[in-house]
């Protein structure tokens, strides 16, 4: 289905909008800006669309607005931002009580899907940025460098978009955490895995050790560390195996056992799934 958009643009005279066409190089290689601007919108301003191949980041500077997205409504106030996939239906609008001022940028790029998926692990499109957040300044910089354009504009834009996406995902993580401090139990589990990776360890073993439900343990560990505990353990083992493959004469079977994986076929499969080559091929490439 083609893009569908309806809008009522009630905006202040000092609002700014730039619509850009990226070069073929930018489309193939970089993150790039499709549209960017700053609005001071007045009721009944709204934008309503779907089926647009673009991602939208919008940051509220002042006032209040409202987002309708994926069947839910979200009120937006100063410091709130949203990051949405414009293929899905969305409507965002000013409300009657006050003007709504915001910065926004439509972006695309070959690997942008991964940032979006990371942001939406909370399954919540809105988060709040800290007062010290660099997000509004990064959008302003993106806006300022578009005119006049030169042979560096698209490359610098891509760099700024990476920084912006990183800040947006971090804001989402901080919003989702009750505290930015990693709980002592999670740190203890992390240290346990790093010290005892050569031992046979299962998720059931860990749940029993920490006296908790294994599914809750896995969720909590992933929330703070970024991976479930068993996946984290496998990564420790693979990293240790890489060192032995490069700096020892041990056989593949000996290395597998040395990192706590006693089935050599299973070790090879785990290694290949994460490194995209067999342990033997890795050894040949790096030695």
Q: Is the dihedral of CA 22, 23, 26, 27 positive or negative?
A: positive
Q: Domain residues of the chain, as ranges?
A: 4-176, 184-286
Phi, psi of 23 (to 5 degrees): -70, 165
Whether the domain at 4-176 and the domain at 184-286 fall into the same CATH topology: no
Residue 2's pLDDT is what? 42
- 62: helix, coil or strand? strand
Q: What is the pTM of this model?
A: 0.73
Which residue in 74, 63, 21 sits closest to 39, CA to CA?
Answer: 63
Nearest one of 131, 85, 108, 123 to 28, comparing CA atoms: 108
What confidence score (pLDDT) does residue 1 get?
Answer: 36
Q: What is the pLDDT of residue 126?
A: 93
Tell the CATH superfamily of the 184-286 domain.
Homeodomain-like (1.10.10.60)
DSSP classification of residue 74: E
Provide the pLDDT for residue 174: 74
Above pLDDT 70, what percent of the chain?
A: 93
Q: Which residues of the chain have pLDDT under 50?
A: 1-3, 178-179
pLDDT of residue 13: 60
Predicted pLDDT at 11: 56
CB atoms within 10 A of CB 256: 24
Superfamily for the 4-176 domain: Regulatory protein AraC (2.60.120.280)
Over residues 16-58, the pLDDT tens digits come to 999 999 999 999 999 999 999 999 998 889 999 999 999 999 9
Q: Which residue has the tokens 């414009």?
A: 86
By CB neighbour count within 10 A (0-12 exposed, 13-18 middle, 19+ buried), where does 258 fall?
middle
């Amino acid at each position: 289905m083609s893009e569908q958009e309806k809008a009522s643009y009630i905006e202040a005279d000092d609002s700014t909008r730039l619509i850009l066409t990226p070069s073929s190089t930018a489309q193939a290689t970089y993150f790039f800006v499709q549209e960017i601007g700053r609005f001071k919108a007045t009721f009944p301003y709204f934008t309503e669309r779907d089926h647009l191949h673009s991602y939208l980041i919008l940051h509220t500077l002042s006032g209040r607005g409202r987002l309708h997205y994926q069947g839910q409504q979200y009120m937006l106030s100063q410091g709130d931002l949203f990051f949405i996939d414009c293929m899905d239906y969305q409507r965002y609008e000013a409300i009657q009580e006050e003007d709504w001022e915001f910065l926004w940028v439509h972006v695309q790029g070959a690997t942008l899907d991964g940032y979006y998926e990371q942001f939406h692990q909370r399954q919540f499109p809105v988060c709040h940025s800290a007062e010290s957040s660099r997000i509004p300044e990064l959008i302003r910089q993106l806006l300022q460098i578009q005119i006049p354009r030169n042979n560096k504009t698209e490359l610098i834009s891509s760099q700024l978009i990476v920084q912006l996406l990183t800040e947006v995902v971090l804001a989402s993580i901080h919003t989702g955490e009750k505290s930015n401090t990693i709980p002592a139990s999670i740190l203890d589990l992390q240290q346990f895995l790093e010290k005892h990776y050569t031992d046979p360890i299962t998720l059931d073993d860990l749940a029993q050790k920490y006296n908790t439900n294994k599914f809750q343990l896995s969720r909590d560990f992933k929330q703070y560390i970024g991976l479930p505990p068993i996946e984290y353990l496998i990564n420790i083992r693979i990293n240790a195996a890489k060192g032995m493959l490069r700096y020892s004469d041990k056989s593949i079977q000996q290395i597998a056992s040395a990192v706590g994986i006693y089935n050599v076929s299973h070790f090879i499969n785990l290694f290949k799934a994460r490194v995209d080559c067999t342990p033997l091929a890795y050894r040949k490439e790096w030695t």
